[in-house]
Amino acid sequence: MTTTETLVAPSSARGRRRNRDRGLILLAAPSTIWYLIFTIGPLFAMFYIAFLDWEGLAAKPTWAGWANFERMFTDDRILNASVNTAIHLFATLPIMMLLSFMLGYFLNLRLPGHRILRVILFIPALISISALGMLFVAVLGPVGLVNGFLTSAGLPELARAWLADPSTAMICLIVVTIWSGTGFNAILFSARLSGIDEDIYAAADLDGAGHWQKMWGITFPIALDYFGVLTMLQFLWTFFGTAGLILILTQGGPGRATETLSWLVFRFGYEDADVGYSQAIGILLFVVGVIGLLVIRRFLRARY
């Protein structure tokens, strides 16, 4: 090969790479523009609106500076909602994820009837939030299924308006959240665990390992990254997405017993016509959500 040929060949290769990269950039451009407009744009809008005094979407907003944030840090309602949010998260997330993982392991054993069980577990994921809320209003209401069962069992003194009692309303919200998310996560865990090499379990059987040892000593370490991803997704859903369920079940009550931060974003934004303050709470929610994700990621030693 001549000297001229060796100089031309690399230059030609670089040209092809540049053309290929330009093509990839052009293909990715529409989705990138869509993401910037409809995802990053609203995020910046939230930060801007938080500095406004805006009494409803039909009113003219005025600049309020840091007033919404100063009000937020002196509002005892925010403190109460933060405590309720923490109780809801710490009671819901560990129980739901561990129970889902164990159910996913059980499904992966493929015992007789496992297909029917998969369908039953997936049913809550097919129920809309409005239907789910109405279902549990019927179950937990004063003349609902739970009180009917207690009365039939000769325990009428235990019957109560479960969603209207301050001592039981948050417990009911936690139970409904766990019920609605456990089956779906179990199906996802089952799908992940089905990809683990059967030879690993066969070797464990030869060593005399039981199901409990195989579940936590073998399967859990292998699926730890996936466990972390699902925990983060469920954390986001529980942290940001419970306002709809609270709206139907308790509307934040009785009193302030089930008010969470995500509920206050809705309450101030749509019912109290205080949009700027609502978005200031939204920023608090955003910051705490990011910190929560980092903590989960660190705790589960995620590699994603």
Task: Tell whether 150 and 289 lie within a shared domain.
Answer: yes
Task: Tell whether 78 and 199 lie within a shared domain.
Answer: yes
Task: Tell whether 41 and 96 lie within a shared domain.
Answer: no
In total, how many domains does the chain have?
A: 2
> pLDDT of 25-49, one tens digit each?
888 888 888 888 888 888 889 999 9
Spatial distance between the Cα atoms of 240 and 256, rounded to a whole number of angstroms: 18
* Residue where one domain finishes, among candidates 47, 63, 79: 63
Residue 10 is assigned to a structural domain of this protein: no
Task: Tell whether 29 and 163 lie within a shared domain.
Answer: no
Task: Tell whether 251 and 133 lie within a shared domain.
Answer: yes
Residue 150 is assigned to a structural domain of this protein: yes
Q: Which domain holds residue 84?
A: 71-300
Q: For residues 172 and 132, is the Cβ–Cβ distance under 8 A?
A: no
Runs of H (alpha helix) within the chain: 3-35, 41-49, 67-72, 76-108, 114-122, 129-140, 145-152, 169-193, 198-206, 211-213, 220-222, 224-240, 243-249, 261-266, 275-299
Q: Which residue has the higher pLDDT, 289 or 37?
A: 289
pTM confidence score: 0.84
Spatial distance between the Cα atoms of 33 and 147, rounded to a whole number of angstroms: 54
Residue 11 is assigned to a structural domain of this protein: no
> pLDDT of 48-60, one tens digit each?
999 999 887 788 8
> pLDDT of 210-240, one tens digit each?
989 999 999 999 999 899 999 999 999 999 8
Q: What is the predicted pLDDT for the residue at 8?
A: 52
Task: Tell whether 37 and 81 lie within a shared domain.
Answer: no
Task: Tell whether 231 and 262 lie within a shared domain.
Answer: yes
Assess whether pLDDT exceeds 80 at residue 17: no
Residue 232 is assigned to a structural domain of this protein: yes
Residue 51 is assigned to a structural domain of this protein: yes
Q: What is the predicted pLDDT for the residue at 148?
A: 92
Task: Tell whether 30 and 102 lie within a shared domain.
Answer: no
Residue 80 is assigned to a structural domain of this protein: yes
Assess whether pLDDT exceeds 80 at residue 88: yes
Spatial distance between the Cα atoms of 100 and 241, rounded to a whole number of angstroms: 19
